[in-house]
A and B are shown apart, each in its own frame.
Chain A
Amino acid sequence: MSADVELNDVWIKFGDFVAARDVNITIEGGEFFSFLGPSGCGKTTLLRAVSGFLEPSQGTIKIGGQNMAGIGPNKRPTALIFQNLALFPLMAVWENIAFALEVRGMGKAARRKKADELLELIALPGQGDKLVHELSGGQKQRVAIARALAAEPEVLLLDEPLSALDLKLRQHMRTELRAIQQRVGITFIYITHDQGEALTMSDQVAVMREGIIEQVGDGNNIYDHPATSFVASFVGENNLFRGRITGIDGDYAMVDTNVGPLKARMTKTNGEVPLKFNDDAFVFVRPESLKFANGVNYENTVRARIAHQEFEGHFWQVYLDVAQAEKRISMSLVNDGQELGHETGSEVTLGFTPDLAVALPEGPLAAGE
């Protein structure tokens, strides 16, 4: 069983602080949905509102079409996987997993049987009698998932469950989580500040900033068609040029930037382009979209000097200084076996097509940009 989750005009306030403002999201049943945002953006608060640990100050939350107002966390068809997992340290692994069944009054033998089945599912057969602290980090992770699944929730909520794991394990658990989700077929709502996790696992991603949903879409959409300057700067690497609109040409904008005139594609919202003549605008170009011009005639070109280059194995990372830009820009070139062809310190011309650049209205940027 999986259920839709609907958030309508949800506001969550703590005194003067607004943790979520006017959130409107519909999550389809059986979807893997991620909330992506920097820490403190209100994503965990939103999750706690869905799981029932706090009531929204305004607006409604519906799960499976039923309004959840006034229904406590123990009565909702949701199960939450906590950031620190919150396994019960004084219980054996199988007792942890069977906790939801125990509180429903299921007999011990039946509980044990169900727990053993779930241990199979998470690939930890025969580990039921261990104590929680005898497990490794990744095993604990899987026990937490099994414990939540034992409650047979219609919606599984995950609050940055991978953040405590090391990189290798994290990458492994991503695949594992996605596989489990497809096996059990219930709705997953996943909270993370790690865009890699959000993009690889999710059907849909909502990018959040200071309690506001900036954009909802699949990973591709978010990455290639950012709706706001925040999304463009937060998701993936991006080079930024500031400027002013000098002309609109269909879906393209002509922007007079501090490195010269650039032409860039615009992301339409509700079928309308967000920019008009003389607006302040940002042009974003991804590092992998920049190329050395090498005599090819690109529509957009930027003069720069190579400041620093790093060989990363499967690609080159090149950092360049641009005369009028306030920040160093970067480009990544796939290692195709060829030499880079340019020395550090040499003046080069970079080129990119308008389709690989995005023009967006001036707005807030992710921290560090």
Chain B
Amino acid sequence: MIADRVRKFFVIGFVIVFFSYLFGPLLLMSVSAFNSSAFPRVSPFECFTVEWFAVLAQDATLMEGLRNSLFIGFGVVLIAVPMGLAGALMLTQVNPRVRPWYYTVVISPILIPGVVLGISTLVFWDRLGTMFGASYDSIFYDGIFLTIVGQSTFIAAYAMLVFISRLQRFDTAQEEAALDLGATNVQAFRKVLLPFLKPAIGSAAVLAFLASFENYNTTVFTIVSESTLTTVLASKVRYGINPSISALAVVIVVLTLVGAVFYEILQRREAAAAKASEAVARGETATRAQQAALYADPAVIIALLVFIAGFGTVYFAGTLGVDECKVAVKEEKQRLARERTKMRQSLEMFKGAAPGVQTAPATTAPKVRAKGTEGYENVFAPSNLEETVDSDSPAQQKQQEQPEEKVESPGKSQFQNIFDPANLQQQSGSGGTN
């Protein structure tokens, strides 16, 4: 009994830890995309905002990279999928004794580091370009072309693996039957083998696209002067990031989730349909339960989507007040800063109000400074500083107004504003917002 409970505890604990490990970073990143804080972070969560998505959409270099990545992805699909198919078909045709060698050769691009593939692609096409005396704006030096070619070398091997596993389930007698019935080799391929391989072609294309889209190691060399999403991201990370990168991550995660969910729906529907038609073949009529199974999953998914949409709407309603929230956050920051200064100020006041208790240097020091300020015409006046520090932020303008309010305080006129709380406030305030 106790052992059972302990085991259960550990299993649940492990599951929690495991999933936190898997999804924790994604979750934190997603949350940070909606935080108005200028640095991607979750805590403190300042204001809920979708402005980073707008920032993302306006980021020209990122969008350029994304466009290139999509283009390269499609290019890689167009090259790698037929290449993988050809490689897999070849594997079924070669002599069994040669087969292991052939397999090793065609699979090797997966084992070779992407960096090596990138450099070798670059060098190879450069040599080729030199041989033909091509100029630097010819195809031999075109980053997009080189990247498509370079990525295809190993992505074709991925596609081939997909095709091999599908081909292993192909009954070669079907091909023979087609030939026997008078089909040419091309007809047998087109009418019998290709329809059978259709699902694998789809899988291989998706796999090839994703592998291309996320590739960095090879791309960073072959892209030359162009950029892809991954290279832009990498350079951004190097030179400082903002939450628009988190926003991009959210977009990608959501797209992936939606894709996965729809794929699952399709799969289940097909399985249910196959089951139902097999039942028909056995002479049973499809039971209500089986028919219901055809529609159950879409219903669940629709409910889920409605829920997500509702959740989103509620949050969007909250974002309408995002500007007020930002102002509130800034005011809160200023208030905190003011409190800090007040504390310091009152400490000073306390020191000034009790000269008898204080030691001599403490009371003479401000006087010495006061003399200096007189002589140099307020050259160290805090108001001087106020004007040089960038003053277009409204919070700072407010701060500038504050000294006037406190002009009456006796210590100030006497010490020429040297202990003006705004001095400190400004320093801490500007440090906080930048």
Contacts and interface: CB of A to CB of B under 8 A. Distances in A.
Does B associate with A? yes
Interface stretch (B140-148, B189-197, B203-211, B361-369): B189-197
Contacts of A315: none
Contact of B176 (A53, A102, A134): A53
> What size tier do the contact residues of chain B reach?
20 to 34
B182 A82 contact: no
Interface in B57-112: none
A366 interface: no
Nearest to B173: A86
B180 A103 contact: no
B177 A86 contact: yes
Contacts of B195: 90
Interface in B160-208: 171, 173-174, 176-184, 187, 191-192, 195-196
A150 B192 CA distance: 18
A133 B181 contact: no
Main secondary structure of the interface of B (DSSP, over half): helix
A81 B281 CA distance: 23
A103 B277 contact: no
B184 A88 contact: no
B277 A74 contact: no
Given A73-B179, A73-B180, A74-B180, A86 B281 contact: no
B361 to A, nearest CB: 98
Given A73-B180, A99-B178, A148-B181, A131 B277 contact: yes
B177 A103 contact: no
Interface residues of A, number: 31
B252 to A, nearest CB: 35
Give the interface centre of B173, B177, B184 by most chain A CB atoms within 10 Å: B177
B180 A80 contact: yes
A78 interface: yes
B278 interface: yes
A74 B191 CA distance: 15
Interface of A: 51-53, 72-75, 78-80, 82-84, 86-88, 90, 99-100, 102-104, 131, 133-136, 147-148, 150-151
Main secondary structure of the interface of A (DSSP, over half): mixed
B225 to A, nearest CB: 47
Contacts of B281: 133-136
B176 A82 contact: yes
Contacts of B11: none
Contacts of A88: 174, 177-178, 192
B116 interface: no
Contact of A84 (B171, B181, B196, B278): B171
Nearest to A102: B191
Q: Which 6 A-B pairs have the closest CB atoms?
A: A86-B173, A134-B281, A100-B181, A86-B177, A103-B183, A80-B180
